[in-house]
Amino acid sequence: MKMVYVFEIIDKNKKEIHLTEERLKHIRKHPHMQDSVEKIKDVLKNPHTTRIEDDKSVLYFYKEFKEMSKQERYLMVSVKYLNGNGFVITSFFTNKITGEIWKTK
């Protein structure tokens, strides 16, 4: 069975990223994420900051949306990288940026 992608783009780090229908269905369960595909693409291409936590194969992209309330100011998009390419795990609005700043080589 071939995986159906909602989109495939090149992120800020020059890596190919895709979003599947299954992950989008999950993302749309979060508040304010029903019409979020274009915002997710924007965050991946133009993040305010990129962070990393314990699992070094996952990057967290953040971008501020000033029109949102203080409790939901930043859109976070998490991406898992396998074999050089990535896929979106989840995305939602949050009030804080967590993790260490990710440094490009």
What pLDDT digit, counting tens, does each position of 69-86 carry?
Answer: 888 999 999 999 998 899
Q: Domain limits of the chain?
A: 5-101
pLDDT value of position 91: 98
**What is d(CA 66, CA 93) in angstroms, rounded to the nearest whole number?**
12
- Please report the beta strands in 4-84, taking only residues with DSSP state E, as ranges in sequence order: 5-10, 16-20, 49-52, 58-64, 74-82
Q: Model-level pTM?
A: 0.92
Handedness of CA 80, 37, 65, 45 (dihedral sign): positive
The domain defined by 5-101 folds into YaeB-like fold (3.30.2310)
Q: How far is CA 7 from the centre of its chain?
A: 13
Q: Read off the pLDDT band of 2 (50, 70, 90).
A: low
- pLDDT tens for 8-59 read 999 998 999 999 999 999 999 999 999 999 999 999 999 999 999 999 999 9
Instruction: Check: CB of residue 26 under 8 Å from CB of residue 40.
Output: no
Token pair of 49 as six digits: 């900051």
